[in-house]
């Protein structure tokens, strides 16, 4: 209703100018002013000289005319917000529309597709929604369609295949669904660029896609749900074309012909059911990857046909087990179960019966248990009486008591909003890391005990092990295994004051990436409570003797809150006190603390700012930022001229500006050119992890599987 009224006002003004002033803006200018009226924000005043006092709009910003007719609207990267007005469809001479990287939203107006002479429609990097109308088939002269980086959905209309002059089709980073129908390759025969990545496309890849003989660069079908076999016709594409099929649901042998022959494994990662070269995952017998056969490999549990059954065997009977064989198998199972039961009973008696003291009284030594009994999950706790057993062991191998711990040598490792961490060396040489959680009341002991015991059950080679804890009214301690080689942040960037620093090789970085992904996937999917870390960053990834990663710090926020202090409040208080000190001493140093405070937030997912409940996709985003940091060697805040931007935005900017890979890579990695394909593959995983929308990020289990296959594939 509002826009109908606006249209009427412009129409009245238009006629008033014509009748009483003798000069007026032509119909094309009138249509453009209607578009200007639909713009709600124009912070850079890009449309400031669009006004009705001109006879035609040919001198307006972003407008190009030919023979006094508007042929082009080009207003990129001006931050204009609003929607596309249907009036643009009345500018019949319009050939080019370029409104990329703005803040436009809403559906594409149907009237836009009445412009039969339109040659390019470039709208990427906006907030458009809705689907592509079937009327797109009217654009017979369309050569470039770029709708990437929007929020569009729906399936591709078959009428798109009528745009036979289309050279560029980029629909990446949207929410398009459905399948690509047969006719895609036969209709769009002029395509030179094809990018459908990071959508929700499904179904099989059309078999006629090999007809796209004009394609150049990369054909990107990655990060979708394409399934079934890779069509052998895909190999008919020009041999210089790079085909990216990563992160789909494809299966079966990889055809080895034409453009698919001698391809590296990085083009196929993220498809666990693919087999054959170049992957180190051999196809089951009968699968023929060399000729692109369409035969399906049988999976475990599916019996291949027996020779006697093909074409009618001699007996015609199935080869099932006999009755006596079934009885024998059942009997063996029963005997096996009995043996396991006896073994378990022996272990329970041997290891779980608490030993009596030497005096035979049954009393335990002060502050120390001789053993730990099996216990039930849930409300039953490891120690019902904390006063008699101050140091509670969570590890059967614990052989020290509280007195030994308190007498040991201790060195401060670090301080944070969640207490102080000490390196503690016992008399027998055992080294531990002890975190003091601070002082708090004892009213929430049971809650603390349940939480800490759940964390203590987690055992994984890439997660720091919590070995014991201590609780009293005045002191709360968490005792961890000690990890000797510092943290990942220091390994990437070096320590302050370090004289010499040797950057990590790509092989070592991949080892750390793989281990961290495994540890996170375990926390998310297999730990007792399916934990969310919530504060993953390089300083929380510790490195062991062989530079293997150990994730630390998960669950600390909740434990600190239960123990009597909010880690968030403590951090804020410490930062506030520090900032006051800096302001009193040297005002010029204040920005330093501000930068330090913003550093941690660089690893937080965008949705974390809304104070919603943490989700596993928060950790995926943080992991993606860490990957970018390891690939680029840069800090999470990047200095660009006189301004700072976060690492994710800087990487995206480099990609938008099509900068060479060398500008993004850590210079040290440039010495390993043979690893370039692998680095690019990891970069793509990182970009998938740092998607703004949580739903579009992969799970850590998926990421971990991908890293595992990537390492196997590249040897």
Catalytic residues, which ones? 535
Q: Which residues contact 335 (CB under 8 A, 6 or more apart)?
A: none
Q: Is 551 helix (H, G, I), strand (E, B) or coil?
A: strand
Alpha-carbon distance of 289 to 100, in angstroms, equals: 42
Shortest CA distance to 275 belongs to which of 257, 294, 297?
297
Q: Cβ-count burial of 370 within 10 angstroms (0-12 exposed, 13-18 middle, 19+ buried)?
A: exposed
Positive/negative CA dihedral, 507, 508, 512, 515: positive
Side by side, the strands of the sheet bearing 39-41 are 39-41, 81-83, 103-106, 127-128
Q: Show the beta-strand stretches assigned E in 79-224.
A: 81-83, 96-98, 103-106, 120-122, 127-128, 144-146, 153-154, 168-170, 175-176, 193-195, 202-203, 218-220
d(CA 278, CA 246): 14
Could you tell me the two tokens for 630? 């390891």
Do residues 444 and 561 lie in contact, with contact meaning Cβ atoms separated by under 8 Å?
no
Our CA dihedral for 375, 380, 385, 389, rounded to 10 degrees, sits at 40
Distance CA 81, CA 42 (A): 7
Q: Dihedral of CA 686/689/691/697: which sign?
A: positive
Closest to 112 measured CA to CA, from 131, 91, 129, 98: 91
* CA 41 – CA 56 distance, rounded (Å): 24
Residues 636 and 630: their CA atoms lie apart, in Å, by 10
Helix, strand and coil in the chain, % to nearest 5: 40, 15, 45
Phi, psi (deg, nearest 5) at residue 645: -140, 155
Burial 155-165 (b: 16+ CB within 10 A, else e): bbbebbbbbee
Comparing C-alpha atoms, which of 53, 52, 61, 62 is closest to residue 31?
A: 52
How far, in Å, CA of 269 to CA of 642, rounded?
Answer: 40
**What is the C-alpha radius of gyration for the chain, rounded to an integer number of angstroms?**
33
3-state secondary structure string across 460-506: CCCECCEEEEEECCCCEEEEEECCCCCEHHHHHHCCCCCCCCCCCCH
Q: How many CB atoms lie within 10 A of CB 234?
A: 26
Say if residue 686 is exposed, middle or buried (CB neighbours under 10 Å; 0-12, 13-18, 19+). Answer: buried
């Amino acid at each position: 209703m509002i826009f109908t009224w606006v249209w009427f006002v412009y129409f009245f003004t238009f006629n008033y100018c014509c009748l009483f002033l003798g000069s007026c803006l032509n119909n094309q200018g009138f249509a453009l002013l209607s578009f200007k009226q639909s713009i709600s924000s124009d912070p850079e005043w890009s449309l400031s000289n669009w006004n009705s006092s001109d006879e035609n709009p040919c001198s307006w910003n972003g407008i190009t005319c030919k023979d006094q007719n508007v042929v082009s609207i080009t207003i990129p990267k001006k931050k204009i917000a609003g929607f596309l007005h249907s009036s643009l469809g009345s500018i019949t001479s319009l050939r080019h529309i370029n409104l990329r990287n703005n803040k436009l939203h809403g559906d594409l107006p149907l009237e836009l597709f009445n412009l039969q002479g339109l040659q390019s429609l470039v709208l990427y990097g906006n907030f458009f929604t809705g689907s592509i109308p079937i009327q797109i088939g009217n654009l017979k002269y369309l050569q470039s369609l770029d709708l990437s980086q929007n929020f569009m959905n729906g399936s591709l209309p078959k009428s798109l295949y009528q745009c036979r002059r289309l050279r560029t089709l980029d629909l990446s980073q949207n929410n398009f669904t459905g399948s690509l129908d047969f006719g895609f390759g036969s209709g769009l025969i002029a395509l030179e660029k094809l990018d459908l990545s990071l959508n929700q496309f499904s179904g099989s890849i059309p078999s006629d896609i090999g007809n796209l003989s004009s394609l150049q660069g990369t054909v990107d079908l990655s990060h979708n749900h394409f399934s079934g076999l890779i069509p052998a016709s895909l190999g008919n594409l020009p041999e210089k074309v790079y085909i990216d099929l990563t992160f789909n649901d494809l299966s079966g042998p990889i055809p080895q012909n034409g453009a698919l022959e001698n391809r590296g494994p990085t083009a196929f990662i993220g498809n666990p059911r693919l087999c054959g070269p170049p992957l180190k995952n051999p196809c089951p017998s009968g699968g023929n990857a060399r000729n692109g056969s369409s035969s399906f490999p049988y999976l475990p549990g599916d019996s291949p046909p027996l020779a006697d059954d093909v074409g009618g065997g001699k007996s015609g009977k199935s080869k099932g087990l006999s009755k006596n064989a079934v009885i024998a198998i059942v009997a063996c199972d029963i005997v096996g179960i009995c043996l396991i039961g006896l073994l378990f009973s022996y272990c329970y008696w041997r290891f779980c019966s608490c030993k009596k003291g030497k005096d035979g009284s049954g009393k335990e030594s002060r502050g120390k248990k001789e053993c730990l009994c099996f216990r039930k999950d849930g409300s039953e706790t490891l120690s019902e009486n904390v006063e008699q057993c101050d140091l509670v062991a969570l590890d059967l191998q614990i052989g020290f008591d509280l007195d030994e711990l308190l007498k040991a040598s201790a060195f401060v490792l670090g301080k944070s909003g969640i207490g102080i961490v000490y390196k503690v060396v016992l008399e027998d040489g055992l080294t531990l890391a002890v975190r003091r959680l601070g002082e708090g009341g004892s009213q929430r002991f049971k809650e603390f005990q349940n939480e800490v015991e759940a964390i203590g059950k987690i055992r994984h080679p890439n997660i720091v092990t919590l070995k014991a804890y201590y609780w009293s009214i005045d002191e709360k301690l968490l005792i961890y295994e000690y990890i000797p080689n510092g943290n990942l942040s220091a390994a990437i960037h070096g320590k302050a004051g370090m004289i010499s620093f040797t950057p990590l090789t790509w092989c070592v970085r991949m080892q750390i990436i793989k281990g961290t992904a495994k540890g996170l996937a375990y926390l998310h999917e297999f730990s007792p409570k399916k934990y969310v870390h919530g504060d993953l960053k390089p300083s929380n990834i510790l490195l062991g003797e062989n530079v293997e990663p150990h994730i630390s710090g998960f669950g600390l926020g909740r434990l600190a809150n239960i123990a009597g202090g909010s880690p968030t409040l403590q951090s804020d208080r410490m930062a506030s006190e520090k900032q006051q000190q800096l302001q009193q001493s040297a005002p010029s140093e204040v920005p330093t603390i501000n930068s330090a405070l913003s550093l941690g937030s660089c690893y937080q997912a965008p949705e974390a700012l809304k104070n919603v409940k943490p989700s596993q996709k928060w950790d995926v985003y943080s992991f993606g930022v860490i990957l970018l940091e390891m690939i680029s060697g840069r800090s999470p805040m990047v200095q660009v001229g006189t301004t700072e931007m976060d690492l994710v935005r800087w990487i995206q900017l480099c990609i938008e500006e099509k900068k060479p890979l060398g500008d993004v890579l850590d210079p040290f990695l440039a010495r390993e050119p043979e690893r370039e394909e692998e680095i690019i593959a990891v970069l793509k995983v990182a970009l998938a992890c740092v998607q703004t929308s949580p739903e579009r990020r992969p799970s850590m289990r998926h990421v971990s599987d991908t890293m595992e296959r990537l390492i196997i594939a590249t040897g």
